[in-house]
Copies of this chain bind each other. A is one copy, B any other.
Amino acid sequence: MAHTEAQNGGGAAPPVVFTAAKPQLMVDAPRASDAVAFYKAAFGAEELGRSFHPKRKADQEAPLVLSSQIVLAGLAILVSDNADAPFPAAEPETKGTKSAIVLETEEVDLAVANAVKAGAILEGGEVAETDGGVRAEKVVVDPFGFTWIISAPVKKSAEVEEA
């Protein structure tokens, strides 16, 4: 999919290149670690890596999980502690449990603009701190009630695009 901003006329939104899409399971903190253990035991999931919330590393015995990446039948799934994540507040019945799909792109603002133009609502945005630095991250809710997290790639490679 070529990125041609020149075509941004009329009703068509300019194309955005999404480099990855992953479901994210937001677990009532601090149970993300338990959840990963469960997915290993229940489904044979494999954990590829885990990052922790930098702000809480010092002042907690067990640091909160910013994101654990597991793989199950080829599907990458993120499992996170739902603490002060950039997420709409969960209903009491779900005990903080909520899910979303993370869409990674270098063009966060353009992707958000496209989604809003199509009918999504921007719930919030922030610069998320990670182990590897900071990245832009915005949350939109679509007209059907689902949450999408539009995020710059977690591991930002060299700024070479396909152009």
Interface set, chain A 58-100, CB cutoff 8 A to B? 72-75, 77, 91, 93-95, 97, 99
A143 within 8 A of B: yes
Interface digits, A7-41 against B, CB 8 Å rule (1 contact, 0 not)? 00000010110111111010110010011001101
Contacts of A77 in B (CB 8 A): 21, 101
- Let me know if B38 and A103 touch, CB within 8 A: no
Contacts of A142 in B (CB 8 A): 35, 38-39, 42
Interface digits, A139-163 against B, CB 8 Å rule (1 contact, 0 not)? 0001111101000000000000000
Contacts of A133 in B (CB 8 A): none
Interface set, chain A 87-123, CB cutoff 8 A to B? 91, 93-95, 97, 99, 101, 103-104, 111, 114-115, 117-120
Chain A residues packing against B (C-beta within 8 Å)? 1, 13, 15-16, 18-23, 25, 27-28, 31, 34-35, 38-39, 41-44, 72-75, 77, 91, 93-95, 97, 99, 101, 103-104, 111, 114-115, 117-120, 142-146, 148
5 contacts between A and B (CB under 8 A): A21-B74, A38-B119, A42-B119, A75-B75, A95-B145
